[in-house]
Chain A
Amino acid sequence: MAEDKPSWKEYPMAATIHSPGSATDQNTGDWKSMRPVRDSSKCDKCGICWIFCPDAALYMTEEGFYEVDLYHCKGCGICAHECRKEAITMVEEGE
């Protein structure tokens, strides 16, 4: 592993970071044990799940639904709890 990383001399001075938003590369999605699944027939596209997601792990599709970005979703379950239409359920990973 050590040889893959650049030497300290190659890092920018004063530990500045030149790539805004680079944390996006991190796969925080593998933290979760429960995964949100949307039932599109119940969803009324209100966007409550999106504004309450602490990880910004939802994005709007062309049809106007909010789709879960499973690469970043940590599986906290807030979207399922807050959904007024009960359109989102948490499902165990691996099922």
Chain B
Amino acid sequence: MAETPGDLFLPRLLPPQEFFAEGNRGCQGCGAALVMRQVLKAAGPDTIVCNATGCMEIISSPYPETAWRIPWIHVAFENAAAVAAGVESGIKVLRRKGRYHDRRINVVAVAGDGGTADIGLQALSGALERYHDFTYVCYDNEAYMNTGIQRSSSTPYGASTTTSPSGRESIGQKTQKKNLPMIVAAHEIPYLATACPSFPLDLMDKARRAFQTVGPTYLHILAPCPTGWRHASDLAIEMGRLAVETGAFPLYEVVDGKLKLSMKMETRKPIIDYLKPQGRFRHLKEDDIKEIQRRVDENYEKLLRRAELDEGG
């Protein structure tokens, strides 16, 4: 993890090329732009990106400019995975006809949490089931940020958004965050991982492993969003770190069906540390926070038990 002293100087060893260009129109402190920058550093130049509608498409390609330095195609909200599957199949056919080189190409589908958990779920499920050789990257900023912070099924319990506003009668988002990585894990794909850009080396290790694995792979990456989460822009990295350290967003990998926690925490920080700086949780009362703490603990215990089971078996 990036926190250990040995890792301190490691950023200097990372590839200096930027495939996601400076001058993109992301908000100040945009976590999603950072996710893309780090993932593409791990991917290298032999990469084709299929990008669903969402923040990443809006901020990267205000026509006639583009922030991408690799082949990139923008597709509709629901079919990033389907297009990536098509690209992968197309390359396979061209290779069979001898019209394409033999270097490994990373076919990457990129979508936000709305484009993955809500709108693109069936295309994703189909592509995983057909076992295409591609990587799906979901940057999870926990709402439809680019259209004005509407709730998605990935919005956590208690968060206030413009379509689940908090008030006298409402706590904000009433339902639990959809556990998307586990839905994807149920497809029994060879590799999936959750990551956060606050731990860049961990994220890039996981991304590299996903790209090198043959078969469908999935990365679920938390992308702090100062605009939608309503915190100061310089706290973006801090928020990601707190999400991991409180257990709100645990980091793990599922390799061939076996779950492994990336960071086993005996004691976790109280969830209030993570909720307090964010404006979307400002309205929560003590009882609500207790309830959120209970849910986080429950989910984390469940993960710990599963990890123990998988390691033993």
**Chain A contacts of B226 at CB under 8 A?**
76
Report the Cα distance A17→B62, complex, angstroms: 10
A residues in contact with B68, CB < 8 Å: 20-21
Bound CA span A71–B9, Å: 26
Contact (A23, B9) CB under 8 Å given A31-B28, A54-B30, A81-B237: no
Asked if B20 and A56 make an inter-chain contact with CB atoms under 8 angstroms apart, the answer reads: yes
A92 close to chain B: CB less than 8 A: no
Interface hit among B31-39, B171-179, B246-254:
B31-39
Q: Which of B10, B31, B226, B233 has most A Cβ within 10 Å? A: B233
B side interface size, CB within 8 A: 45
Please determine whether B65 and A26 come into contact, CB atoms closer than 8 angstroms: yes
A63-90: CB near B (< 8 Å → 1, else 0) gives: 0000001001011111011101000001
Contact B28 A74 (CB under 8 A): yes
With A23-B23, A46-B11 as known contacts, state yes or no: A55 contacts B63, CB within 8 Å: no
B residues in contact with A25, CB < 8 Å: 23, 65
Question: Chain B 220-256 against A: per-residue CB contact (8 Å), 1 yes, 0 no?
Answer: 0000001000001111111000000000000000000
* Contact yes or no, A23 B11, CB < 8 A: no
A82 → chain B, closest Cβ, in Å?
5
Contacts of B20 in A (CB 8 A): 56
A23 touches B66 (CB 8 A): yes
Say yes or no: B22 contacts A72, CB within 8 Å: yes
> By DSSP majority rule, is chain B's interface helix, strand, loop, or mixed?
loop
Provide the A6-43 mask, 1 if CB < 8 A to any CB of B, else 0. Answer: 00000100010101111111111001100000000000
| Chain B residues positioned under 8 Å from A47 (CB to CB) | 9-12, 14
Q: B11, A50: Cβ atoms under 8 Å?
A: yes
Does B29 touch A at the CB level, under 8 Å?
yes
Q: How far is the CA of A12 from the CA of B277 in the complex (A)?
A: 47
In the complex, A51 Cα to B63 Cα: how many Å?
Answer: 28
A78 to B237, CA, bound (A): 7
Instruction: Given A55-B24, A60-B16, A77-B29, answer yes or no on A22-B11 (Cβ-Cβ < 8 Å).
Output: no
B66 to chain A, nearest CB (A): 5
A91 proximity list for chain B (CB < 8 A):
none
Of A22, A56, A77, the contact of B18 (CB 8 Å cutoff) = A56
Point out the residue from A26, A46, A52, A76 that lies within 8 Å of B28, measured CB to CB: A76
Asked whether, in the complex, the Cβ of A81 is within 8 Å of the Cβ of B66, the reply is: no
B227 to chain A, nearest CB (A): 11
List the B side residues contacting A22 at CB < 8 Å.
21, 64-66
8 Å CB contact of A56 from B12, B22, B65 = B22
Assuming A20-B69, A55-B22, what are 10 further A-B pairs, CB within 8 angstroms? A21-B68, A21-B69, A24-B21, A28-B23, A46-B9, A47-B11, A47-B14, A51-B14, A54-B236, A90-B234
A residues touching B (Cβ–Cβ < 8 Å)? 11, 15, 17, 19-28, 31-32, 45-48, 50-57, 60, 69, 72, 74-78, 80-82, 84, 90
13 contacts between A and B (CB under 8 A): A20-B68, A21-B21, A24-B21, A27-B23, A46-B11, A52-B34, A57-B22, A72-B22, A74-B27, A75-B28, A76-B233, A77-B232, A81-B238
